[in-house]
Structure 1
């Protein structure tokens, strides 16, 4: 997909971070943009800012974990613009203590947003794209955490590995039917976003009395490591720029920060050599 002018982009998690940067880049490419997010005030601010700049923008409050919200998002997109050409399954939350300390509510919240959000959108938007018969592209925002192995942020890691696999499978299936839909999986390392404060949007249904787990020295150290990494991370704009270069060249794997490639290489070598997993810490963190 090389031509973007007057085409329609749908972006989940569009109110901040990578999603906000993708929205700005879509506007620069003269696309019509549908912004989806669960954070109402932030979503409205982005809509107003982009409209003030002359963009054609529609904001839809969306909880991606709920299929009916994605159905509504798709319908409003069709009602307003008649088609969708570029889908960014970008909404995501961080979370998870150790595997054994994370609560069932923790697992449900993170997996429902990070994995089921992409599943819902894929099942609803892909048939629309196939019916259109036009050139389209889907970008799923996973993470380097979905390509390498390590401790901490456990549910997030599991969800992102699953999202990488979903993306790879979708790529092969669409290629087998010779569709005009391209697929990419975006796997950034640390990025300067609010991912460490994702709990601000955690619904009450996933926050039950007694669910809070006291942090251990290990989980505290890992949390500090992640927060430090995010503070030193690349900008969301850099991620958006790398993403559009990949879309234009129909590239599947998008790794905006090359400093993390050693961790991916080490995991592949561990698998091929049947070695126990190695945790590789990037040298610049």
Structure 2
């Protein structure tokens, strides 16, 4: 996709973080915007900012865990704008702690948003875009699925999140190959940000009532939350910068998008573990103080 002006973009998780920055950058590029989020007030803030930049905006409260709500979002977009050119399956939440302490509610909520949200986005929007491509030889479309560096690595005490993001990477790679099989020109990218200051560390504040845990957070979950918030807050690459990287990658038809390429050394180490059938490398080899902090925090009194 070489030009963004006068094209329509659908963005989930548009109320904050990367989603909001995708919307604002799209507005600056002259795009029509379809913005979705579970937080009405946050969605209105993004809408107001995008309109101030001159964008034509449609907003809809949408819980991407539910396929019928994503289908309704797509129909609203088509009714308003007639075509969909760019889709950001971006909504995401996080939950941490030792993997055996994650509850069924934790698994269902995180996989519901992070994985099923992307599944619904792909199954709903891809056929719509393929139909546009078939009817209009000049049509250009692109799908961006937000994963994470946690989709390429397996950091401790982030099991539910890791599983969801590894699945998004696999889903997106498969989508790329499947589109190639039918010789489609639709572009596909998977975004793998590292620690970027977004609202991901505040996910618990938007956890719906049907996914609330029955018991108080465990020690490992509390420690994971504190460490995640510290790491995300200290991030040096902003959401706006990642949005710019992403739009550049869309134009270049680049599949893998990294906010922190320097983290790829850890990915290479993991791949070597797999290729050499050796046990997983210590993720804290270069940060032993962090490992010691974890162990001290988890130690029984």
1:205 counterpart residue number = 210
Does the CA-based 8 Å contact 2:96-2:224 persist in structure 1?
A: no
Which residue of the partner structure matches residue 266 of structure 1? Answer: 269
Q: Are 2:91 and 1:91 aligned?
A: yes
- 1:155-203 deviation per Cα after TM superposition (whole angstroms, max 9, x unaligned): 0111000000000000000011011211100001000011111111111
Deviations 1:237-280 (A, max 9, x none): 11101111111110100012122111111111111111111243
Structure-1-length-normalised TM-score? 0.95
CA distance in 2, matches of 1:268, 1:38: 37
Query: 1:224 aligned to 216, 223, 226, which one?
Result: 226
In the other structure, the counterpart of 1:142 is 147
**Structure 1: distance between partners of 2:23 and 2:62:** 16
Structure-1 separation of matches of 2:261 and 2:284: 14
| Matched-pair contact (CA < 8 Å) for 2:97–2:222 | no
Q: Alpha carbons of 1:283 and 1:188: their partners in 2 closer, same or farther (altered >3 Å)?
A: farther
Q: 5+ unaligned residues in a row in structure 2: which ranges?
A: 134-138, 291-301
SS at match of 1:60: strand
Residues in 2 aligned to 1:12 and 1:80: alpha-carbon distance in whole angstroms: 17
Unpaired segments ≥5 residues, structure 1: none
Please give the alpha-carbon distance, in whole angstroms, between the structure 2 residues aligned to 1:283 and 1:18: 29
Cα distance change on mapping 1:281 and 1:28 into 2, 3 Å: farther
| Root mean square deviation of aligned Cα | 1.6
Which residue is equivalent to 2:295? none
Contact 1:193 1:236 in 2 (8 A): yes
Report the equivalent of 1:196. 201
In the comparison of the two structures, how many residue pairs are matched? 282
Instruction: For 1:283 and 1:82, locate their aligned partners in 2 and report how far apart those are by CA, in whole Å.
Output: 52
Is the 2:89–2:118 Cα contact (8 Å) retained in structure 1?
A: yes
* Mapped partners of 2:113, 2:224: distance in 1: 22
State the shift of 1:22 in Å: 0.7
Q: Which moved more, 1:221-230 or 1:21-30?
A: 221-230
Larger Rg: 2
Cα offset for 1:229? 1.3
| Structure 1 partner of 2:242 | 239
